[in-house]
């Protein structure tokens, strides 16, 4: 084989590679290993595993809705709240009695507000029998310390996919992420137009009314249409959000952002089907698909974690995560609808039912489950990831 310009001498060079490498390393003068990489700093700042906050203010929006203003709790080491994309949520962790609970709450302020004020707002509706919402409502006061996750979730405007004409459909407290997106449009963080079709029972249920009105007055990019199902008020649309109503605000191409109670999703999905809109133009915030459970039968749940095995009770109509939360087992979770994968655990034995569509194919193969969206149908043994 002819290797032009290469000779036997080059074989010696090969043998010397190791020595040459050693020589070069010896000439290095810097003996300080600097680990402050900008990219890693930004990553840490955007994706903290935990953020310690203090309740800075509480605003009563109406009888059943409160907004909590959260500021970093420097005494526990959080100095700056993570920036986020409008529409994302944080998972709030609280200890109530012997239970440890986590709940996702949409951030209701705009990203710009967080950047400027170093605060988040979350807006909480009191849910009947809701352990966490009632606790927040009745027990939490200004100055209290809370623990939240970094911002998470995929319910945000993505300019490479979404239409610039957004039709937001919000039901009740489902307005919270929509309000944040509206704010971001108003602040110029997002370049889009948005019509908000906002459904409530009565006029008193409407929240953020003044702020929405204010934005509508100051920009053409945002429109708000209130729809009341139980009030006879000439000022507002009456009844439910219908196809006729949506028709009035349709542009040639639209992205629908939908957030509200479960019933509303079903109802709106039926309407959207009539338009035959491609899936890409319909975005849902966290929502649970309907699942038929076999009643509230009691089962045993054995949880393996931290080199321990703990036996607790679980029930056919409650998720495995709910059982663990109540028992004070520190299972991790974020979205609570099987989407984020944070609670991923291994099913060792037992029969379960899940509405989860977000399990990876290999996870399914090896019997991993998302306890947040999985119900027992027999005694169950699961292994947490730690």
Partner 1 sequence: MNKYDVIVIGAGNGGLVAALELAKSNKKVLVLESHGVPGGMATSFIRGRFEFEASLHELCEYGSKDNQGKIYELFTDLGIVDKIEFVTVPDAYHVYATSTHEEYKMPFGIDNYIEKLESYVPGSKPKVSQLFELLAEVDEALKYLESNKDNIDANYLLEHYANFMKVAPYSVERVFEALSIPKKAQEILATYWVYLGSQTSKLSFVHYGSMLYSYIKYGAQIPKKRSHDISLVLTNEIEKCGGVIKYFSPVKQIIIENDKIRGVRTQDDKEYYAPRIIGDISPNVVYGKLLPKEIVPKQALKLTNSRVLGARGFSIYLGLNQDADSIGLKDYSYFIYNSLNSDKEYEYMSSINDSTVAVVLNRAFPAASLAGTCIMHFTTLFMGDVFDRALTLENYFDLKNQIAKKIIANFEKTTGIDITPYIEEIEIASPVTYARYTKHPDGVIYGYKGTGLDNLLPRIMNMENENFIPNLYLCGGFGVRLSGYSSTYMSGKIAASLALRDMKGDED
Tell me which residues touch partner 1 (CB under 8 A).
1-8, 10-11, 13-15, 17-18, 20-22, 24-28, 30-35, 37-40, 42-47, 83, 85, 115, 154, 158-161, 278-280, 307, 332, 341-342, 344, 357-363, 365-366, 385-386
Length of the chain in terms of residues written: 386
Residue 335 CB, shortest distance to partner 1, in Å, is: 12
- Of 125 and 334, nearer to partner 1 (C-beta) is 334
* Both structure tokens of 91: 């998972």
Residue 142 CB, shortest distance to partner 1, in Å, is: 28
- Of 192 and 241, nearer to partner 1 (C-beta) is 192
- Of 53 and 82, nearer to partner 1 (C-beta) is 82
Residue 315 CB, shortest distance to partner 1, in Å, is: 26
- Of 280 and 294, nearer to partner 1 (C-beta) is 280
- Of 9 and 128, nearer to partner 1 (C-beta) is 9
Distance in angstroms (rounded) separating the CA atoms of residues 79 and 149: 14
- Of 23 and 243, nearer to partner 1 (C-beta) is 23
Residue 313 CB, shortest distance to partner 1, in Å, is: 25
* Both structure tokens of 191: 């370049």
Distance in angstroms (rounded) separating the CA atoms of residues 380 and 383: 10
* Both structure tokens of 12: 């010696």
Residue 247 CB, shortest distance to partner 1, in Å, is: 24
Residue 113 CB, shortest distance to partner 1, in Å, is: 13
Angstrom CA distances, 335 to 88, 159, 242, 270, stand at 11, 24, 29, 25
Buried b (16+ CB within 10 A) or exposed e, 140-166: beeeeebbbbbbbbebbbeeeebbbbb
Indicate the Cα dihedral angle 298, 100, 371, 353, nearest 10°: 30
| Residues 55 and 124 sit within 8 Å (Cβ to Cβ) | no
């Amino acid at each position: 084989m002819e290797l032009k310009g290469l000779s036997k001498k080059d074989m010696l060079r090969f043998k010397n590679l190791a020595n040459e490498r050693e020589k070069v390393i010896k000439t290095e003068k810097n003996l300080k290993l600097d680990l402050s990489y900008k990219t890693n700093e930004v990553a840490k700042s955007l994706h903290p595993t935990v953020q310690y906050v203090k309740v800075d203010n509480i605003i009563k929006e109406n009888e059943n809705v409160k907004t909590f203003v959260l500021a970093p709790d420097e005494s526990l080491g959080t100095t700056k709240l993570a920036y986020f994309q409008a529409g994302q949520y944080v998972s709030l962790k609280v200890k109530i009695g012997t239970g440890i609970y986590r709940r996702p709450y949409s951030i209701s302020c705009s990203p710009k507000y967080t950047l400027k004020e170093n605060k988040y707002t979350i807006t909480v509706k009191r849910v009947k029998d809701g352990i966490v919402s009632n606790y927040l409502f009745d027990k939490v006061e200004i100055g209290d310390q809370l623990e939240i996750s970094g911002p998470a979730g995929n319910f945000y405007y993505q300019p490479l996919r979404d239409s610039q004409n957004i039709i937001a459909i919000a039901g009740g407290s489902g307005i919270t992420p929509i309000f944040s997106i509206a704010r971001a449009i108003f602040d110029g963080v997002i370049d889009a137009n948005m019509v908000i079709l906002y459904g409530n029972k009565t006029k008193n249920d409407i929240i953020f009314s003044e702020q929405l009105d204010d934005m509508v007055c100051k920009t053409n990019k945002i429109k708000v249409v209130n729809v009341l199902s139980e009030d006879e008020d000439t000022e507002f649309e009456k009844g439910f959000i219908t196809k006729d109503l949506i028709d009035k605000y349709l542009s040639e191409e639209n992205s629908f952002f939908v957030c509200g109670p479960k019933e509303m999703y079903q109802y709106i999905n039926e309407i959207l089907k009539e338009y035959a809109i491609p899936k890409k133009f319909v975005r849902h915030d966290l929502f649970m698909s309907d699942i038929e459970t076999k009643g509230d039968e009691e089962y045993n749940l054995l949880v393996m974690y931290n080199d321990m095995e703990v036996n607790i009770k679980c029930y056919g109509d409650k998720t495995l995560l709910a059982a663990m939360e109540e028992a004070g087992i520190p299972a991790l979770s974020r979205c609570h609808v099987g989407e984020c994968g944070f609670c991923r655990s291994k099913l060792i034995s037992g029969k379960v039912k899940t509405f989860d569509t977000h399990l990876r194919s290999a996870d399914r193969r090896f019997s991993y489950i998302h306890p947040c969206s999985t119900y027992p149908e027999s005694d169950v043994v699961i292994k947490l990831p730690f």
